[in-house]
Chain A
């Protein structure tokens, strides 16, 4: 984009095939300006962008950061994550702030000054309890700091005047490894790819054994090859920077300190598959990184590492744009991400066809995780052998872990695949762990009996989230938190996940309130198995994991909550009449059944 063009309506090439800006960006602007997106604004945007009104409305209602009713001038959204969320020990920080500011959770104060709500994990799990204030992460929250926040909100103080340390997100890299410790020079990977040629570079990536770092672990070389082979006039590279798995923040650190490596990985991929356009899909929670990323892209264009004739090579034209999401975990799924890029709700597509043959705008598209692309760039420079020297048979190289929860030093740890959980817990100072959630709520819940297991695709797979739970946790609270997360993030497309996630949350709630019996446990198990087996996409297929893991590995946790030891459903008629007694102001013997 040319900063000197002087036009208000600069064509935004991220929007599919027309001027006017990407729908998500236009709606973000409206939300910021009006604090909500009313119906007339929807009509206006639809008109301006030439989109059906129903498409704009459906997008507004899909993404969590858009609202149909006015939010406050200070819109504060607390993370619900168990690591960076608002429930901190005995204290509910959200309630603390609500009381200080005289506003109910989920509501906007009558004077329109402030609204307080919740949002899924904001990726600040190593920064203390966190919230987004007008989209910007506010970290290290405690009762004291919230008191100061409340004062500044009441005073109408602009965010720019708030203490910088409240927003100063630091990279806590405690253990750099293969990727983070190896020196990097801009342009080196592109030069290596140009020297080798696309075919040899593809062979090198394939030989390295690199697998997707987002969690699914598909072979990167194979993915690039399928895309390269697809018959099409144009191909697309997409960097999936939508890390939304609660407890994950390793891409945030890569995007902050290693964006060049990631962009260069995209450029190498473009060279291999023959793409001219690349996109970074950045999660809305990381919008605060946008200025620095845009600057990095500009610098790379200046240096001849992006744009027309990269590094003087005629015909090697490639450029990258950034699309910012608006709060939807499902958009981390590659085909939902592509739908979102196409200005629609993030609904996972039916596969086949796969994105490598029919992706963005129907074009063959490679979608790779931030870490995967960074690793690809490093492999291009240092070679497949350098990479494959670390790791296990089926899991080559290293993995960045975002470690949070009850440990002495939360932050980023890079390990060669094959490391034991015990080693990781020792290194981060988690001495009292009763359980670890590996790979986020969609991953695996393990206890001490499994701490000798190894981190690898063939054993404990993870996209990078590792949340430690000390003795003070009631694991049922943890699992209920995860169940609520999946209800909130289910896209609603298929019946098993849309309805099943709610049924599972309700079942856990009933058990948690002491109204469950073995019957409810078995019902929950049956629904969990159905949702896991029959859902359309990976979200539904993994949503029941925490429940099934809890039942399998920590049966005692639920046992103590059961109303009795039998299978008969529990029903306390007398207790159920309590509300009626209160309404009729009666508590005499006649108003009781026992």
Chain B
């Protein structure tokens, strides 16, 4: 039952790849340059397993690659027609439960949700839109929180706690009413200790957390996913640090 164990080899879609002790299937795949679509995962942060885009099958059983410990001889199916169809449906679910209006979003072209959707061949939301009523928090002078676009991946929650050494964000509520909240008596971002230099202010894969005063600096056509494919696995190998290190007082 231990997750430690030893390293070894797993196969993903028939290709044998090595893994080290303690690695998940996602870790091993990324290290070998194999892309498994994901949104809530980011190397360097505690795996979360909530978006389920990295759904794979091991011996016909379903698992999230980002939380599944690799074990020697494991045979993983990932890039199959059926699993990519599942991933497309899950992506459509994420689109329709929120309010994602790509043409008017500053994150368009830099948005991982959008890029994954293109990667999976998603052409529409498919399901009727939920049109939820969500609150925008523009209280902070430098950072805006637009919950319409939040996909509840908790990357900001984890980045704040694990890298920034703070506790700015949390998910509140339950079910379809779950929402991103901030840790302040007023419930407003301006009253938290978030700073523009925090990783949490930059890590949002969609346009839910944006820096103010930087609208459309990079033209459409020259943005991240205009130049790169979301499936380029070395894109995420950048070390996770607060961009501007400040010594303790």
- The interface of chain A, by Cβ under 8 A from chain B, is 39, 43, 52-55, 57-58, 61-63, 226, 328, 345, 350, 352-354, 356-357, 487-496, 498-503, 506, 526-527, 530, 533-536
Contact = CB atoms under 8 A, between A and B. Distances in A.
Given A352-B69, A499-B96, 5 more contacts: A39-B187, A57-B187, A353-B1, A492-B177, A535-B52
25 contacts: A52-B183, A54-B182, A57-B181, A58-B173, A61-B177, A62-B173, A350-B49, A352-B69, A353-B1, A487-B176, A489-B175, A490-B175, A491-B175, A492-B152, A492-B174, A492-B178, A493-B50, A494-B49, A496-B90, A498-B97, A498-B176, A499-B93, A534-B52, A534-B55, A535-B52
A129 to B, nearest CB: 26
B241 interface: no
Nearest to A497: B175
B172 A533 contact: no
Interface string B169-196: 1111111111001111111000000000
B131 interface: no
Contacts of B69: 352
Nearest to A492: B178
B127 A503 contact: yes
Contact of B171 (A52, A58, A502, A530): A58
A43 B176 CA distance: 25
A39 B175 contact: no
A533 B50 CA distance: 14
A492 B52 contact: no
Given A52-B167, A54-B181, A352-B3, A328 B93 contact: no
A328 B174 CA distance: 9
Contact of A61 (B86, B93, B174): B174
A39 B176 contact: no
Contacts of A495: 50-53, 90, 93-94
Contact of B183 (A53, A353, A498, A502): A53
Nearest to A541: B62
A502 B98 CA distance: 13
B49 A492 contact: no
A496 B174 contact: no
A576 to B, nearest CB: 14
Contacts of A490: 174-176
Contacts of A526: 89
Which of B93, B152, B181, B182 counts the most A-chain CB atoms under 10 A from its CB?
Answer: B93
Interface string B54-69: 0100000010100101
Interface string B149-178: 000100000000000000101111111111
A54 B169 contact: yes
Contacts of A356: 1
B128 interface: yes
B185 A533 contact: no
A216 B5 CA distance: 28
A58 B3 contact: no
Nearest to A356: B1
Nearest to A62: B174
Contacts of A489: 175
The 10 closest A-B CB pairs, nearest first, are: A492-B178, A54-B170, A54-B183, A499-B93, A58-B172, A61-B173, A490-B175, A492-B175, A61-B172, A350-B67
Contact of B62 (A492, A527, A533): A533
A396 B167 CA distance: 49
Identify whether the interface residues of A are mostly helix, strand, loop, or mixed.
helix
A345 B53 CA distance: 23
A502 B175 CA distance: 9
B47 interface: yes
A489 B183 CA distance: 25
A53 B185 contact: yes
A487 B175 contact: yes
Contacts of A492: 152, 171, 173-178
B130 interface: yes
Contacts of B177: 61, 492
B181 to A, nearest CB: 6
A525 to B, nearest CB: 13
Contacts of A502: 97, 130, 176
Contacts of A226: 1
B120 to A, nearest CB: 14
A302 B107 CA distance: 66
Of the candidates A61, A487, A500, the one having the most CB atoms from chain B within 10 angstroms of its own CB is: A61
A534 B86 contact: yes
B9 to A, nearest CB: 20
Nearest to A503: B127
Nearest to B51: A495
A52 B166 CA distance: 11
Contact of A499 (B97, B171, B172): B97
Contacts of B169: 54
Residue among B62, B174, B176 facing the most chain A CB atoms (10 A cut-off): B174
B67 to A, nearest CB: 5
Contacts of A357: 1
A374 to B, nearest CB: 28
Contact of B172 (A57, A350, A353, A488): A57
A210 B89 CA distance: 41
Nearest to B184: A53
Contact of A494 (B52, B97, B130, B173): B52
Interface in B62-90: 62, 64, 67, 69, 86, 89-90
Contacts of B130: 502
B147 to A, nearest CB: 14
A43 B185 CA distance: 6
B89 A530 contact: yes
A204 to B, nearest CB: 24
B167 A536 contact: no
Contact of A500 (B93, B171, B174, B186): B93
Contacts of B51: 494-495
A350 B47 contact: yes
B175 to A, nearest CB: 4
Nearest to B126: A523
A498 B49 contact: no
Nearest to B57: A533
A514 to B, nearest CB: 17
A536 B97 contact: no
A502 B182 CA distance: 26
A85 B184 CA distance: 39
B197 to A, nearest CB: 21
Contacts of B173: 58, 61-62, 492
Contact of B90 (A352, A493, A534): A534
Contacts of B172: 54, 57-58, 61-62, 345
A487 to B, nearest CB: 6
A375 B57 CA distance: 37
A109 B184 CA distance: 31
Contacts of A55: 170
Contacts of B67: 350
Contacts of B96: 499
B159 to A, nearest CB: 15
B1 A354 contact: yes
Interface in B95-137: 96-97, 127-128, 130
A345 B171 CA distance: 9
